[in-house]
């Protein structure tokens, strides 16, 4: 989106998911006393010695879902504070955030939709519940690299497998029972390479359904806020600006596929110019290099890179309109497309109109589909920021509302 008559810069911060951790990766970070004390606080919330697991534990230990997930989220949260010592700087510079799988909890906390402590309680319970679900049936995951996409998906369907992670061109992770994965090994898609993954089970499939129920019950008691930075959802690549909807999606994601390919599409629609991955970094920036040609990337791995990482953020960061536009409560576009005002609001949805919570205010149409947009919290229309038929970008404010009953 042009600002000041020039092409805008857009910085996206991403947090990796399970499998990115390696033995000893936290050692250089823990030389900083402030980092160590912050990690100790989150370790206390998680009930785990994350410093020990990030420095001394071997690969098998930190592969354990109960350990890996809290370790990843805590690392993302504490290193983000190192990157942005003053959180206001983050809101001023970051155009959007996203997290792969469990990394979404770090993204929610970074956007201020939930607190760091809430994220750690949820990830502690998530890791335990997913490990318990994985123990019910022998399951696993296999990366399928290369091959024709349609043929790969057809082969997985034939074997009863789920494309649990769709990470972009030529990178799909199949998940299912050990028997199903064995059948895939005997009958792979043409021109595809299979790599069995060392994971505890078939994450992001129906096999994780028992974990969803437990986390959903906990989520009911979590107080949430609408994010101050646009969050790109793993479920479908939409930009979500309703805190409760974000949390609902993260819970459901436990048993449904991660569509990182659609997250990459959303980043492209945003006009991303720079992607920075927080530690343990490398996986997501590697995918981005292949999928988003010409977009600068920065994999933050060690604290001696912090000065360069901050410079990278300054170079690409101009923030989001959610943070810079005056607001009581904002409804934003979930995707790129053409804005269409709801028929029932045409001629009536002017400034001052009172909208009930959940009112459908219109939709965003693309070549793929039309996404309905609702005013989740309702309120009185302060100002419409787009007109019927306008082209909109992901996260672009559509209407500003005054909460009912607010002064």
Q: With the C-alpha atoms ordered 108, 110, 113, 118, is the resulting torsion angle positive or negative?
A: positive
- Phi/psi at 27 (5° precision): -50, -50
Structure tokens at 265: 């599409």
Distance CA 335, CA 394 (A): 4
Distance CA 369, CA 365 (A): 6
Catalytic choice (57, 80, 101, 393): 101
Spatial contact of 104 and 234, defined as CB atoms under 8 Å apart: yes
Give start and end residues of each alpha helix (H) in 226-329: 243-252, 260-270, 283-291, 306-316, 321-324
Spatial contact of 138 and 147, defined as CB atoms under 8 Å apart: no
Give yes or no: 233 in active site. Answer: no
Catalytic choice (53, 100, 159, 204): 204
Give yes or no: 393 in active site. Answer: no
Residues recorded for the chain: 407
State how beta strands 329-332 and 379-384 pair.
Answer: unpaired
Distance CA 369, CA 237 (A): 13
User: What 8-state DSSP symbol labels residue 32?
Assistant: S
- List residues with catalytic annotation: 101, 204
């Amino acid at each position: 989106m042009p600002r000041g008559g020039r092409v805008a810069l857009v910085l996206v911060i991403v947090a990796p998911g399970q499998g990115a951790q390696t033995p000893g990766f936290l050692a250089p970070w823990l030389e900083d006393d402030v980092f160590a004390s912050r990690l100790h606080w989150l370790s206390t919330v998680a009930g785990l010695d994350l410093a020990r697991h990030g420095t001394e534990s071997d690969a098998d230990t930190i592969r354990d879902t109960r350990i890996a997930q809290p370790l990843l989220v805590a690392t993302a949260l504490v290193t983000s504070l190192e990157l942005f010592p003053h959180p206001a700087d983050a809101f001023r510079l970051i155009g959007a955030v996203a997290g792969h799988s469990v990394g979404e909890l770090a993204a929610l906390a970074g956007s201020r939709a939930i607190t760091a402590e809430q994220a750690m309680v949820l990830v502690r319970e998530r890791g335990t519940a997913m490990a318990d679900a994985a123990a019910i049936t022998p399951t696993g995951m296999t990366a399928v690299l290369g091959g024709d996409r349609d043929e790969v998906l057809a082969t997985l369907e034939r074997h009863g497998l789920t494309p649990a992670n769709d990470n972009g061109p030529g990178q799909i992770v199949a998940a299912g029972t050990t028997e199903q994965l064995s059948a895939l090994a005997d009958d792979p898609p043409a021109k595809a390479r299979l790599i069995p993954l060392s994971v505890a089970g078939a994450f992001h499939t129906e096999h994780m359904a028992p974990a969803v129920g437990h986390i959903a019950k906990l989520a009911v008691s979590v107080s949430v806020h609408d994010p101050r930075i646009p969050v790109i959802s793993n479920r479908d690549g939409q930009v979500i600006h309703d805190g409760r909807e974000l949390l609902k999606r993260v819970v459901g994601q436990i048993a449904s596929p991660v569509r990182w390919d659609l997250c990459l599409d959303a980043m492209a629609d945003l006009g991303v110019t720079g992607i920075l991955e927080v530690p343990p970094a490398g996986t997501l920036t590697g995918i981005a290099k292949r999928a988003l040609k010409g977009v600068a990337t920065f994999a933050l791995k060690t604290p001696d890179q912090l000065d360069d990482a901050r410079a990278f953020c300054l170079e690409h960061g101009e923030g989001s309109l959610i943070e810079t536009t005056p607001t009581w409560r904002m409804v934003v576009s979930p995707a790129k497309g053409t804005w269409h005002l709801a028929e029932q609001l045409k001629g009536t949805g002017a400034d001052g109109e009172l909208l009930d919570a959940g009112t459908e205010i219109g939709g965003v149409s693309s070549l793929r589909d039309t996404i309905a947009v609702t005013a989740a919290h309702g309120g009185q229309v302060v100002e419409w920021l787009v007109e019927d038929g306008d082209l909109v970008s992901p996260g672009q404010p559509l209407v500003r509302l005054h909460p009912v009953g607010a002064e």
